[in-house]
Amino acid sequence: MHIIHKITVLTLFMLFSLSGWSQNKEIKGTVINHKGEPVSGALISVVEHPDQIAITASDGTFQISASEESLLKIATTDEGIKTIQLNASEDPVTVVMDFVSQTRDMGFGFKQPLSESTGAISYSSSEDVNKRSSFSVANSLFGNALGLTALQNSGAVWDASATMIIRGLQTTSNNSILVLVDGLERDIRYITPEEVASVSVLRDAAAVALYGYRGINGILSITTKRGKYKTSEINVSYDHAINWQTRKPEFVGSYTYANAVNEALTNDGIDTRYSQNDLNAFKSGNYPNLYPNVDWVNEVFRDHGSSNIYNVNFRGGGEKMRYFTMFNLQGNEGFIRNSEMNEGYSTQEKYSKANIRTNLDIDVTSTTTAQVNLMGVLNEFSRPGLLSDNLMNKLYTVPAAAFPIKTSDGIWGGNETWGANMNPVALTQARGYSTGHTRSLYADFKLTQKLDVITEGLSASLHLGYDNIAAYWEGHNRDYAYASDVVTSWENGEPVEINRYTAGADSELGYGDKLDWQDRHMNFIGSVDYETAFEKSKLLTSLIYSYDNHILNNQNNTYYRQNIAAYGHYVYNRKYIADLTLVASGSNKLAPGHKWNYSPTVSAAWILSEEDFMASANFIDFLKMRASFGIINSDNIPAEDYWEQSFSDGGGYFLGGNYDWYGGTMEGQLASMNSTNEKAFKYNFGIDASMLKGLNITVDTYYEKRKDIWVSAGGANSAVLGASSPYANGGIVNSWGIETGLNYNKQIGDLAMSVGGKFTLSKNEIEEMLETPRAYDYLRRTGNPVGQIFGYQASGFFIDEADIANSPAQQFSEVKPGDIKYKDQNGDGIVNEYDQVALGYNTEVPEVYYSFNLGLEWKGLGVNALFQGVTNYTAVLGTQSIYIPLIGDANISEHYYNNRWTPETPFARYPRLTTEVNDNNFKTNSVWLADASYLKLRNCEVYYKLPVNFLSKIRMKNGKVYVRGVDLLSFDHIDISDPESIGVGYPMTRSLNIGFAFGF
């Protein structure tokens, strides 16, 4: 019997083995990206048996044991996630990581391929954001991310804080978005493009629901690069830029300035300042120390600056540990002329930043994985003098005729009219310098444990984050003496008597320092996840708890939020998808009894291309419709402790025998009673499609009703209350729009072509804001867009006194010929505050934001360009000396002088010159509004990729050299400044970059 038993067991084992061999075989294949390039380090797994895995080699090939009917899941670090059904007729298998496989990162560990995503989430690759040679990824996103409106603010390299808005203005309160780096809220200014793997823009309720209060205005999520399985890479790059300023302000020379001042004083009915002798002296240029003609802008700024970016990273790993380590160093030399005039230090504007990042993925055991992310940032900038010296303001204020750079005996120029520290050149050479230092540490740790011992597919994770940022200031500054010489007597057109004005005193270089600010941020996220598949269904559920603690410097600046979220993701038959999210959010910013709120969101998608009735549409490779609805809450508040009555010192009485004054206490803002919180009802419908083997399309249309926005209740209350009205949840704003992205890639022999575009239209309307009753409907802000400009409609300039007498009386100030004439909107014969109307658009965010790109490559030689533009955008022209000249001894621009009103030019562009404050002319009105639309060539690159045969000989994997232009062209309607930086500030810059990137 014992022998028979052994034979039976052996027979069964052989039959089982033969059965296994008949079902499984070695599947060979290759993984490539959308360009046809091999993808190394990709993880291949059998969906039915997740423990069966393989990893692609450097040439993208793999081999795995699976049955011919198995599902293979391909997951890469950069290209995305894709699941394919094996086909016995295809051997070997070729897997293309295409548009459909792009990862949509929802955060909290949820990464879904486009084919399974129900939310409106756009995607930009590391290649997209690394074509601009930016110091920060914030300035790499212009036109690169669908649904994101990114606007440049300054030409100063240390100010990389671009304005970023998602889906336009949606509220009258706070429209700022949430920025995440690897799932945690962080400052985008310190993230370099070289460390970015992808950028996602989360726009609808389904995409932002898990983030509770913080996600109401949309989310920009940045994922940094990680290691690869069984790979070893070293990448080195260098970028050198020559920078120059564009549209620097241009002011009149001293002779023109003197004439302009005299003309303005004559217009004002005041005696002129400059005599004919003075004018002759300015014109002749024979007395530069007495009658100077200083071009302050060109004396302060040199023609060119430079910058450098050095980067090296190490990427790879084995089966148990993967790593990405990056060292990035940036440096910039600014535009200050003659900055080396002092022994021992420079007054040049300088900026430097060093980033060190390490991302580790560790398989601690077969069921336990750990992620460690560490980043340190050392940031330093230096500027001449003190920030409070406000160098740019001085350049816009001091005219060419004010005083010389230095007197004839070498003392810095200056006089009583413009006061101390007004000499721009002295501020850059004799005022010393100040330095700012920022030290940042970003650290987070995530531990994930599979709990298959309880039930297969169950896991739990713990994510901890701690960030500490501190900024220090050092000042190395000194004072200086200044003087000027004034002619007091003339003979025969020559100066004969001169008086000197002196002030100030030279001092030694002093020193001061302080802690400028500090920011500490702590995060805790814990989740339990369950994923399973049965028959034709796939289910993912998760329960998430998150805690966010943010501590800013100064007192009472600690904020914390908590979220409890339940998330479910269900896929049936690979074509019907549904998501459900339920979130409870709490915040200490809100009033007691109102700190917690609940946000439900539901979304669904239907993959039509999987349906049988689409089988005949061979040109469609993928087609998905999706829709979402959700209620998202916010903890935007109108003021700290808004639920309490406030009091302040104020008023008082004369009391006592001596009638001494005793101060009193007065009511401030009244308490907000029965308050709630701002919330958004978000609706979204979208389509994702891929067709013609290369054309990818995304379209989203949305509608949002923002309710319970905090507004002042003053419009609903009587002034008899005796104090400031309380805040109330009375605001309602409706917003809607469309977002479209298109990209087409085609390979024709050795020619690769890529063309694409993005378009965003975002509209809104205020439905309710508890507005004070208005005398006329056209004065009402309600019914207009958020930020709508209101002002006066100009109908020209007054020609003479008869014109003034025969026109409606304007009540703002006394008017004279050359002043702006306004339209009497209500026909009552006078022009006052009741004659304002809606003008133009808002000045904050354009309604239309678009971009288009083109790329061509032939045998390694390529060119690509990105254009980005905006429309439905208005600028208010109120820059001192440019559009408001001479008042308060200000300067005057050539542009204004050449376009001013005079009796001989009654149809000029700008009103008459005046030295007096003129309330009539400088009200917000149509004269000072301009179309801020523009189209810019954001970046253009010509490159050459070294041949593979050559690279193999020198043991390199890839190599590229390039010449790159940044912001080279702008087509716009603003004559003398960049439409993105109207005002007193550093001019925008253009750059010509040369660089290389080599991989080993």
Q: Are residues 130 and 87 in the same domain?
A: no
Establish if 982 belongs to a structural domain: no
Q: Are residues 377 and 438 in the same domain?
A: yes
User: Measured between alpha carbons, how far is residue 352 from residues 153, 188, 399, 675 in Å?
Assistant: 20, 16, 33, 47
**Per-residue pLDDT at 492:** 87
DSSP per-residue letters across 894-942: HHHHHTB-BTTBTT-SB----SS--TTTTSSBGGGEEE--EEEEEEEEE
**Per-residue pLDDT at 549:** 93
Rounded Cα distance, 715 and 730, in Å: 10
Establish if 594 belongs to a structural domain: no
Q: Are residues 60 and 123 in the same domain?
A: no
Establish if 418 belongs to a structural domain: yes
Q: Are residues 400 and 336 in the same domain?
A: yes
Domain with residue 189: its CATH number is: 2.170.130.10
Domain boundary among 499, 515, 531: 515
Task: Classify 789 in phi/psi space as left (phi over 0), alpha (psi -120 to 50) or beta.
Answer: beta
User: Measured between alpha carbons, how far is residue 377 from residues 331, 437, 520, 575 in Å?
Assistant: 14, 10, 15, 45
| CA 184-190-194 angle, 5° bins | 95
Q: Are strands 576-587 and 647-655 parallel, antiparallel or unpaired?
A: unpaired
Task: Count other C-beta atoms under 10 Å from residue 494's C-beta.
Answer: 12
Token couple for 514? 């302080």
Establish if 927 belongs to a structural domain: no
Rounded Cα distance, 202 and 216, in Å: 10
Q: Are residues 428 and 471 in the same domain?
A: yes
Domain with residue 42: its CATH number is: 2.60.40.1120
Task: Count other C-beta atoms under 10 Å from residue 722's C-beta.
Answer: 9
User: Measured between alpha carbons, how far is residue 315 from residues 174, 446, 946 in Å?
Assistant: 40, 20, 21
Helix axes 254-267, 276-284, angle to 10 degrees: 150
Establish if 535 belongs to a structural domain: no
Establish if 201 belongs to a structural domain: yes
**Per-residue pLDDT at 159:** 65
Q: Are residues 433 and 316 in the same domain?
A: yes
Instruction: Give residue 80's domain range.
Output: 24-97
The CA-to-CA distance between both ends of the chain, in Å, stands at 66
Domain boundary among 515, 545, 580: 515
Q: What's the longest Cα–Cα distance across the chain? A: 141
**Per-residue pLDDT at 659:** 78
Contact 637/591 with Cβ under 8 angstroms? no
Q: Are residues 128 and 186 in the same domain?
A: yes
Amino acid letter, residue 203: R
| CA 698-182-595 angle, 5° bins | 90
Token couple for 488? 């007091």
Q: Are residues 125 and 76 in the same domain?
A: no
- Which has the closest alpha carbon to 700: 622, 630, 624, 767? 624
User: Measured between alpha carbons, how far is residue 55 from residues 45, 231, 359, 416, 966 in Å?
Assistant: 9, 10, 20, 77, 39
HEC string of 13-32 equals HHHHHHHHHHHEEEEEEEEE
- Which has the closest alpha carbon to 235: 324, 317, 356, 308? 324
Rounded Cα distance, 425 and 427, in Å: 5
Domain boundary among 480, 515, 550: 515
Rounded Cα distance, 582 and 597, in Å: 11
**Per-residue pLDDT at 86:** 81
Q: Are residues 90 and 140 in the same domain?
A: no
Q: Are residues 167 and 53 in the same domain?
A: no
Contact 717/745 with Cβ under 8 angstroms? no
User: Measured between alpha carbons, how far is residue 351 from residues 157, 327, 381, 438, 479 in Å?
Assistant: 7, 17, 4, 11, 25
**Per-residue pLDDT at 178:** 96
81-85: strand order across its sheet = 49-55, 43-46, 71-75, 81-85
Establish if 130 belongs to a structural domain: yes
**Per-residue pLDDT at 724:** 79
Q: How many domains does the chain have?
A: 3
Site of tokens 């290389």: 996
Q: Are residues 190 and 326 in the same domain?
A: no
User: Measured between alpha carbons, how far is residue 130 from residues 121, 210, 869 in Å?
Assistant: 20, 29, 20
Q: Are residues 408 and 496 in the same domain?
A: yes
Task: Classify 389 in phi/psi space as left (phi over 0), alpha (psi -120 to 50) or beta.
Answer: alpha
**Per-residue pLDDT at 720:** 65
For the chain, state the CA radius of gyration. Answer: 34
* Phi, then psi, of 845 in degrees rounded to 5: -140, 125
Show the low-confidence residues of the chain (pLDDT under 50): 1, 4, 6-22
Token couple for 734? 């409706």
**Per-residue pLDDT at 527:** 96
178-181: strand order across its sheet = 121-125, 196-202, 219-224, 178-181, 184-185
Task: Count other C-beta atoms under 10 Å from residue 906's C-beta.
Answer: 15
Establish if 382 belongs to a structural domain: yes
